[in-house]
Structure 1
Amino acid sequence: MYKIVAKQKLNHLVEKMVIHAPFVARKCMPGQFIILCVEEGDERIPLTIQDYDREKETVSIIYQIVGYSTQKLAQKEVGDTLAHFAGPLGVASVLHNSKRRVLGIGGGVGAAPLYPQIKELQAQGVSCDVILGGRDKDYVILQDEFKAVSNELFFATDDGSLGTKGFVTTVLNELLAKGRQYDEVIAIGPLPMMKAVVSVTKPLNIPTMVSMNPIMIDGTGMCGGCRVTVGGQTKFACVDGPDFDGFEVDFDEAMRRQSMYKKQEQHICNLKLGGGTNA
């Protein structure tokens, strides 16, 4: 059993939990993830590691309340326990500390897996700028954390309630137009956002890493749900990634597959939550 030692509500849909998990905290690295079960016999869900503290033996996760398991997880409070918390899983991010200037771009909850990468690069002496985006100011998370580890921090919101009105690519284009030069971009967020970032950076040949964690399901490579074409080859986000060269990812295929079972997922969620078959 894994004890919840802290819990924070970041907005009405997103929460952060800090879990006492000594073995995971001892080994995990930026880019990796865990698999948890809220209760014994529950669904296994993969969640990216947002932060870790080896001395306190804790691991931080951030989740968006979108389905049955995350709704059940949200009902847990400090002092409660989780049945299973396995990891670290996935391939750790390859951090190019030889780069002089890196731009991190996080969309929504994509800021969570971006944070440990920027934090580690900054600790290794790399100058990092960060763009955070969201639907409105309440959906732009981890602002204080990124302020502490970035050189400059920029915001983009759909409604203009924080920073630039527009998308993260709006800010990206503005920075590049002003002559900002970056040796690498790390973009993590919804698939359409990452595709849009690559559409800007690829013509300029700015190396861009993306994370395919949004399409992970089983987390072990057995279900095939996170299959993605990278450089013309079939890869699995959970065992070969989740980080890949953004220039080589077939985003269109990934987006088609991600939406394939939305109706069935909602139907099962409604049944489990007692909403009925027509909810």
Structure 2
Amino acid sequence: MYKIIKKKKLNSTVEQMIIHAPHVSTKCEPGQFIILCTNENSERIPLTIQDYDREKGTVSIIYQVVGYSTQELSKKEEGDTIAHFAGPLGLESNIHKKKRVLGIGGGVGAAPLYPQIKKFKELGVECDVILGGRSEEFVILEEEFKGISDHVYCATNDGSKGTQGFVTDILKDLLQKGNIYDEVIAIGPLIMMKAVVDVTKPLDIKTMVSLNPIMIDGTGMCGCCRVTVDGKTKFACIDGPDFDGYNVDFDEAMKRQSMYKKEEAHICNLTGGVRQ
């Protein structure tokens, strides 16, 4: 059993938990994820690691309450326990000393972006961050990023916070103003990551993306996170979740992600929520 040390509601659908899991916290690195089961007979769900504290033996996760399993997790409170908490899983991010890095997080994509930017900053790298969301409510971890970044910019669809528009609008503006980045890290919805690559690739700016949004089983057995990278079949959970954005076939991934919308809607009607 793994004790919930702290629980925090970040907005109407997104929550953060700090879990006591020393075996994970002592080994995990930015980019990796865990698989948890809320109760003994619960569904296994993969969630990326948002932060960790090796001394306290804790791991922080952020999840969006969108269906049955995350609703079940959301019912847990501080002091309660989670049945299973396995990890770290996946490959760690390839983080090395650079001059300047730009991180772009869309919605809950800000969660796995945070430990990467944090580690870059520990190496003395200048870090800028762009956070996006439908509205101000859905821009998360802004204050946390301000504590580890040189500049933080926000974009919202409705203009309720920062620039009205998309994260790519700020990206284009920064580049047009002469800002130079050795690497861009984009994590969020597939369509957002594709849009970022469409901007950076013509300018030959190295761009890493995380395909954790398409993971289901987390072990490579279900095949749901299968994706074509540089013409080869890869699995986000065991070969990633980080990949060179230039080489990812986003069109294929987005098409596959929408293949079972009819079935998901049917399950939603039967259970009152989608599977995760």
TM-score, normalising length: structure 2: 0.97
Q: Which amino acid aligns with 1:82?
A: I
C-alpha displacement of 1:274: 8.8
The amino acid across from 1:9 in the alignment is: K
Deviation at 1:268?
2.4
Residue in 2 aligned with 1:120? Answer: 119
Equivalent residue of 2:43, what SS?
A: coil
Aligned to 1:41: 41
Matches of 1:5 and 1:263, distance apart in 2: 38
- Number of the residue aligned with 2:226: 227
Letter in structure 2 aligned against 1:3: K
C-alpha distance in 2 between matches for 1:76 and 1:270: 24
1:261 deviates by 1.6
Q: CA deviation at 1:206?
A: 0.2
Residue matched to 1:6: 6
Residue 212 of structure 1 pairs with residue 211 of structure 2: yes
Amino acid at match of 1:85: F
d(CA) in 1 for partners of 2:173, 2:256: 32
Residue in structure 2 matched with residue 158 of structure 1 by the alignment: 157
Q: Which amino acid in the other structure matches residue 137 of structure 2? A: D
Deviations 1:231-265 (A, max 9, x none): 00000000000000000000000001111122323
8 A Cα contact 2:68 2:273, kept in partner: no
> Counterparts of 2:273 and 2:239 in 1: how far apart (Å)?
37
Deviations 1:70-113 (A, max 9, x none): 0111111011111110000000000132x200000000000000
TM-score of the aligned structures, taking structure 1 as reference length:
0.96
- Report the AA paired with residue 165 of structure 2: G
Measured after TM superposition, the shift of residue 136 of structure 1 is 0.6
1:79 aligns with 2:79: yes
1:175-196 deviation per Cα after TM superposition (whole angstroms, max 9, x unaligned): 0111111110000000000000
Q: How does 1:105-254 map to 2 (within 5 A)?
A: 105-254=104-253
**Contact 2:228-2:248 at 8 Å conserved across structures:** yes
- Mapped to 2, the partners of 1:198 and 1:264 lie a distance apart of 31
Change (3 A) 1:271 1:149: same
CA distance in 2, matches of 1:68, 1:266: 13
Could you tell me how far apart the structure 2 residues matched to 1:258 and 1:68 are?
A: 19
Q: Residue 27 of structure 1 corresponds to which residue in structure 2?
A: 27
| Consecutive aligned runs of 4 or more in structure 1 exceeding 4 Å deviation | none
The alpha-carbon distance between structure 1 residues 231 and 76, as it changes in their structure 2 partners (threshold 3 A), is same
Report the equivalent of 2:101: 102
Q: Which amino acid aligns with 1:144?
A: E
The residue aligned with 1:272 is 271
Match of 1:16 in 2: 16
For the structure 1 residues 274 and 191, does the alpha-carbon distance in structure 2 shift closer, same or farther, using more than 3 Å as the test? closer
The gaps in structure 2 that reach 5 residues or longer are none
| Separation (CA, whole Å) in 2 of partners of 1:118 and 1:67 | 30
Q: Percent identity?
A: 73
CA distance in 2: counterparts of 1:10 and 1:228, whole angstroms: 31
Q: Distance in 2 between matches of 1:209 and 1:232?
A: 17
With over 3 angstroms needed to count, the CA separation of the structure-2 counterparts of 1:220 and 1:274, relative to structure 1, is closer
Number of paired residues?
274
SS at structure 2 position matched to 1:17: strand
* Distance across 1 between alignment mates of 2:265 and 2:66: 10
In structure 2, C-alpha distance between the alignment counterparts of 1:264 and 1:90, rounded to whole Å: 28
d(CA) in 1 for partners of 2:265, 2:151: 40
Structure 1 residue matching 2:203: 3-state secondary structure: coil
CA-to-aligned-CA distance 1:220-239 (integer Å, 9 cap, x gap): 00010000000000000000
Structure 1 unmatched ranges of 5 or more: none
AA paired with 2:6? A
